[in-house]
Amino acid sequence: MPLRLLRFALSHKHPEPPMFTEHDQLGKTYDVVIIGGGGHGLAAAYYLARNHGIKNVCVLEKNYLGGGNTGRNTTIVRSNYLTPEGVAFYDRSVKLFQDLSQDFDLNLFYSTRGHFTLAHTDSAMRTMRWRAEVNKHLGVESEVVDRDFIRRMVPEMDLDCSGHSPIHGALYHKPGAVARHDAVAWGYGRGADMRGVEIFQKTEVTRIDVKHGKVRGVDTSRGYISTPKVLCAVAGSTPRITQMVGIRTPIVIQPLQACVTEPIKPWLDTIIVSGSLHVYVSQSDRGELVMGASVDPYEIHSTRSTLDFTEGLTAHMLDMFPFLSNTKVNRQWAGMADMTPDFAPIMGKTPIEGFYIDAGWGTWGFKATPVCGETMSYTVAHDQDHELIRTFRLSRFKELDLTGEKGAASVGH
Amino acid sequence: MKLLTCPINGTRPLQEFTWGGEFREMPDPEQATDEEWADYVFNRSGAPGVKKEWWHHTASGVWFIAERDTERDIVLRTYLYTGKMSDD
Ligand SMILES: Cc1cc2nc3c(=O)[nH]c(=O)nc-3n(C[C@H](O)[C@H](O)[C@H](O)COP(=O)(O)OP(=O)(O)OC[C@H]3O[C@@H](n4cnc5c(N)ncnc54)[C@H](O)[C@@H]3O)c2cc1C
């Protein structure tokens, strides 16, 4: 047993300080108020303090830290997207992720696994080739591989998928990884807290005070705060907040579900995604298979889960891995995904002065947590969109200048 | 099993239907500014509430309107589109 654990066992007091300071009272004014204590909000707070020296900041979370989509996601990190803007953006995030455990002095269990996107049709193969070329051009490791390569790497897979959906090949992305999602939120939270940011859980923003097109403060379940700058990082609750300031967006909320099996002996060390079969899977350190599919087929603002989902998902899992037929599903859950029509996020300044948005993260925003924190903190500090996020601005819709990331993001992960 | 009532075919399993998104009044394409048109095409009232939405009974091709509470996922009523929605 490690000595640290022994210290816990023998000590009467809790020998490890808590991750965050508990503040009794909300302050009266802050330079920046961040709504949402998920990974994105906490990362923005961390980089505001660390990179820009802005420390009079609070993060308001209506439930507990990381309890939104951050703590519900299947933690796939990758950068093999389709548009050059998307690839550059996600690649920056993967690079930040790789150093994050060091940065935080906290083990994120960041585990580089290699990521396969399977192609079951000629047209899917064409998209894979296109993605591989864009990726390589931007220096991202990504290549189209054939059945033999897949067979060597994943010998357990039935490459013919019971005969009705044979796999032609795949896009292989070596840096594809998984990480411990809670730890990402906690690491950013602790880092921000250490630098003077105040974090409040169980504190809900109920109104945003806007006068003459400018933010002046927020009403919360624990009183009023005055502030010139508000960053909205609330994923599935985004339309409720944008409604408070009268901004219209294309965001539609659809649940995204996931589930895990009972722990089994380690056999799958890569991440497997199939767009045609609507399935993605990896095996956790505990041996559970972590699985997800596409979003539910219509708008719902709750996190209920359904039998339809597990039935559909497990049927497709068995097409690929028939030997799992006796493996049991242990838990299932859902998050509210904030979907956009072009499968790209909405980030940056808005028509309201001092109101910044980091949303539209749908089913793919965990991997972007570090880069969102970095670029949004810059945007808030300088009141100017960071160059990596200009393509994701809210005004792209009225300018009819959409981003078009569907080919690489439509199966949620 | 979740059920939905098609005004023509009666109550059927939800799997037989496709969601067509929120019902929106189309502005006159000749009169609308580019901005009004983009707002109509892209923007939605994303916050929860009782909404009018298009649903499609896939097997028979019937399109109709459902009024649904998007937080509780409960359908209040369904009816055929008659061409005048804003008056009712
Ligand atoms: C099942 C599932 C699987 C996914 N898989 C992947 C994946 O494999 N890879 C990937 O990259 N992404 C994935 N995603 C997407 C990813 O989880 C999200 O995009 C990302 O976590 C969003 O982080 P966030 O910090 O913006 O939001 P959240 O973590 O949702 O945080 C927002 C917080 O805001 C709080 N809040 C809301 N309203 C208020 C208010 N009025 N006042 C105060 N606080 C408020 C909420 O309580 C919440 O904690 C998945 C999502 C789901 C649901």
* Predicted local confidence at residue B7, as pLDDT: 98
Cβ-defined contact of A242 to B46 (cutoff 8 Å): yes
What's the pTM value of the predicted model, to 2 decimals? 0.95
User: Could you tell me what percent of chain A has a pLDDT over 90?
Assistant: 91
Residue A85 neighbours by CB under 8 Å, 6+ apart: A388, A391, A392, A403
* Predicted local confidence at residue A12, as pLDDT: 76
Q: How far off is chain B from A248, nearest CA to CA, in Å?
A: 6
User: pLDDT tier at A411 (50, 70, 90 boundaries)?
Assistant: low
Query: How far apart are the CA of A108 and the centre of ligand 1, in A?
Result: 18
Residues A215-224: what's their mean pLDDT? 98
* Predicted local confidence at residue A19, as pLDDT: 85
Name chain B contacts of A398, Cβ cutoff 8 Å.
34-35, 38-39, 42
CB A392 within 8 A of CB A345: yes
User: Does A48 score more than 90 pLDDT?
Assistant: yes
* Predicted local confidence at residue A351, as pLDDT: 98
Give tens-digit pLDDT for B66-87.
Answer: 999 999 999 999 999 998 765 4
H/E segment holding residue A18:
none
DSSP assignment string, B50-72? EEEEEEEETTTTEEEEEEEETTT
User: Does A65 score more than 90 pLDDT?
Assistant: yes
- C-alpha distances in Å from residue A150, one per residue of A118, A171, B61: 9, 10, 41
Residues A115-129: what's their mean pLDDT? 96
* Predicted local confidence at residue A1, as pLDDT: 58
* Predicted local confidence at residue B85, as pLDDT: 67
Q: Which residue, A342, A356, A351, A375, is CA-closest to A83?
A: A342
Query: How far apart are the CA of A288 and the centre of ligand 1, in A?
Result: 22
Residues A377-403: what's their mean pLDDT? 96
Name chain B contacts of A252, Cβ cutoff 8 Å.
21-22, 44, 46
Name chain B contacts of A403, Cβ cutoff 8 Å.
none
User: Could you tell me what percent of chain A has a pLDDT over 70?
Assistant: 98
User: Does A408 score more than 90 pLDDT?
Assistant: no
User: Does A80 score more than 90 pLDDT?
Assistant: yes
* Predicted local confidence at residue A4, as pLDDT: 73
Residue A149 amino acid letter: F
Q: Which residue, A231, A191, A198, is CA-closest to A100?
A: A191
CB neighbour class for A4 (10 Å; exposed up to 12, middle 13-18, buried from 19): exposed
Token look-up 């393509």 returns A391
Looking at residue B44, the DSSP 8-state letter turns out to be B
Token look-up 């985004």 returns A238
A147 interfaces chain B, CB cutoff of 8 Å? no
What atom in ligand 1 is closest to the CA of residue A41? 25
Q: What 3-state class would DSSP assign to B75?
A: strand
Token representation of residue A38: 């998920």
Q: How far off is chain B from A81, nearest CA to CA, in Å?
A: 23
Cβ-defined contact of A301 to B48 (cutoff 8 Å): yes
Distance CA A267, CA A314 (A): 18
Domains and CATH numbers, chain A: 27-72+182-250+342-409 (3.50.50.60), 111-175+252-339 (3.30.9.10)
Give tens-digit pLDDT for A157-211.
Answer: 999 999 989 999 999 999 999 999 999 999 999 999 999 999 999 999 999 999 9
* Predicted local confidence at residue A3, as pLDDT: 76
CB A319 within 8 A of CB A276: no
Domains and CATH numbers, chain B: 3-79 (3.30.2270.10)
Distance CA A75, CA A399 (A): 33
Residues A71-95: what's their mean pLDDT? 95
The pocket around ligand 1, CB under 6 angstroms, is made up of: A 35-41, 60-63, 67-70, 72-76, 204-205, 233-237, 256-258, 292, 335, 337, 361, 363-367, 412-413
User: Does A140 score more than 70 pLDDT?
Assistant: yes
Token representation of residue B88: 């009712």
Complex ipTM, two decimals?
A: 0.95
Q: What 3-state class would DSSP assign to B83?
A: coil
Cβ-defined contact of A400 to B46 (cutoff 8 Å): no
Query: How far apart are the CA of A104 and the centre of ligand 1, in A?
Result: 21
* Predicted local confidence at residue A152, as pLDDT: 98
CB A308 within 8 A of CB A315: no
Euclidean distance between the first and the last CA atom of chain A, given in angstroms as a whole number: 36
Distance CA A256, CA A344 (A): 16
- C-alpha distances in Å from residue A68, one per residue of A149, A182, A335, A340: 38, 10, 7, 18
| Residue burial B51-67, b: 16+ Cβ < 10 Å; e: rest | bbbbbbbeeeeeebbbe
Write out chain B's pLDDT in tens, 88 residues: 799 999 999 999 999 999 999 999 999 999 999 999 999 999 999 999 999 999 999 999 999 999 999 999 999 999 999 987 654 4
- Beta pairing class for A252-261 and A111-112: unpaired
DSSP assignment string, B17-61? EEEEEE--PPPPTTT--HHHHHHHHH-B--S-SEEEEEEEETTTT
* Predicted local confidence at residue A412, as pLDDT: 66
CA A187 to chain centre: 15
Cβ-defined contact of B44 to A252 (cutoff 8 Å): yes
